[in-house]
Amino acid sequence: MRLFVSEDIVNKSESIAAISAAIAKAQNEVENASKNANNPHFKSKYADLAELLNTVRPVFSSHGLAVLQMPSFDGGVASVETMISHLSGEWISSVCSAPVTKQDAQGVGSAITYLRRYSLAAMCGISQEDDDANSAVGHAKKPVKEDSMPIVDDAEYTALVALLQPSITSIKFALSNGDYSTAKESWGELTEDQKMKLWKAPSKGGCFTTEERTKMKSSEFAQA
C-alpha cells in the first residue's frame, strides 16, 4: 500500500504572518466534528465531509479564512489539493494523493471524497469525537496480541488490504507525520477481526512496516 504526496508537501505564500494569526484564533474556537455517518464495511461511524465542512466553515469564515479543495485524477492516482486562504491574500496548501483500486467514476469519486475529508480535518486541526463516549470514560481498546492473530492466506489478505485501503492509507500517512491521533482514529474505524487479520509481520507480506507497527504499539499511540 503506497501513499503519494507532492514533492513540496506544504506550499505557502511568501508571507504567512496574517494567516497564521487567523488560523490560531480559528483553531481556538473550532470544535471537533461529531461522528454522524455509518460505515457499513467497518460497522462504525465517522464524521462525513458535510459534517466537517459545517464544523469548519463558520468559524474559519469569521476570521477571514476560506477553504478551497481542488481534486484531480491521473495515472490511477487521485489527488486533492487543500488550500486555506486569508483575506490578506496569504495562503497555505497541501496535496494528498492515493492510488485508486476501483478505476471507475464511483471509485475515483469515493477516493476524492475520502481525501477531501482527511485533508480538511488534518489542515484545520480537528478530529472526530467519539459518539459512544468511550473516550470520555477511558475505555481504551486493547492492542492486538500477536499470538491471537488469525491465520490469513495471501489471497484473503490481499483482498482485505484492497477493501480497507482508505483507512490503511490514512494510518500510514498519519504515522509518517507523527500524527498519532489521526492514525488511531483511522485504526479505530476497523473491526477487531480486521485489525487482527491486518496485523501481519512485514516479513510475511504485511501492509505495515516494522517501524509503523512499533509506533502503533507505543504509548504515544495508546494515549492519542
Average pLDDT over residues 177-206: 84
Give tens-digit pLDDT for 119-140.
888 888 876 544 433 332 333 4
The span from the CA of 197 to the CA of 149, in Å, is: 6
Q: For residue 183, what pLDDT is reported?
A: 85
- Most confident of the following: 19-23, 49-53, 152-156, 176-180: 19-23
Question: Count of alpha carbons within 13 Å of 28, Cβ hemisphere only?
Answer: 8
Q: How confident is the model at residue 160 (pLDDT cuts 50, 70, 90)?
A: confident
Q: Which has more pLDDT, 4 or 101?
A: 101
Q: For residue 1, what pLDDT is reported?
A: 34
Strand partners, 5: 96
Give tens-digit pLDDT for 33-91.
555 544 444 344 445 677 778 888 889 999 999 999 999 998 888 899 999 999 999 99
Q: The pTM is what?
A: 0.53
